[in-house]
Structure 1
Amino acid sequence: MKLLMVLLLVAFPLYCSAGSGCRRLEDIINKLLDKNMSVSEFKNDLREFIHHHYSSEAVGEFKQCFLNQSDETLKNIGSLMQIIYDSRWCRPF
């Protein structure tokens, strides 16, 4: 299960650098950090990436981890992601 979570973290930046831009990644991260979005809503938004029960379970646990964080932690993660978005690594070449 932990390996699947790591793969999720790796897959989104790869999706970003594959030439499709970072908009999808930013949307997913914003939804991940949104405490008003439930686990089921998050899973529903990611259904195109979820192809198996184990993937669904991992996505749910992943979202729940962020729901358990303090507002300050979520704000700091959002700031870190903004720095990453603004870096040259997530821009089209």
Structure 2
Amino acid sequence: MKLLRVLVLIALPLYCSAGSGCSLLEEVANKTIDSQVSTDEYQNFLKPFSAGPETDKAIAELKQCFLSQSEETLNNVGAMLVTMVSSNELSNHWTRTSRV
């Protein structure tokens, strides 16, 4: 089941073009760490990416993991995501300029 969660999270960036700037991925990340978003609302939002009942269950479990965290932890996850995207963009910038 954990593998299924990982695959769902890996598939989302592939839906968007590589790099940052993918509003769908940002919205999924925001809904994932938002404690005001219910599990049902989260599942409905990700329904287009679901491959069936097993995926629906994995999505619900993923959201429940975040719902059981403190606000401080959720804020830290949000900050980590920003840092990861920023460092990825910086890395892409240097890669592009070094090839020119």
Q: TM-score, normalised by structure 1?
A: 0.85
Runs of 4+ deviating beyond 6 Å: none
Q: What's the RMSD between the two structures over aligned residues?
A: 2.3
What does 1:7-86 correspond to in 2, within 5 Å? Answer: 7-18=7-18, 21-86=21-86
Matched residue pairs, number?
A: 92
Higher normalized contact order (CA 8 Å, seq sep 6+, divided by chain length): 1
In our comparison, the structure showing a higher alpha carbon Rg is 2
Q: CA deviation at 1:19?
A: 7.5
Gaps of 5+ in 1: none
- On the 8 A contact 1:84/1:90 being kept in 2, the answer is no
For normalisation by structure 2, the TM-score amounts to 0.79
* 1:33/1:78 contact within 8 Å kept: yes
The one-letter code of the counterpart of 1:59 is I
**Any stretches of 5+ residues in structure 2 without a counterpart?**
none
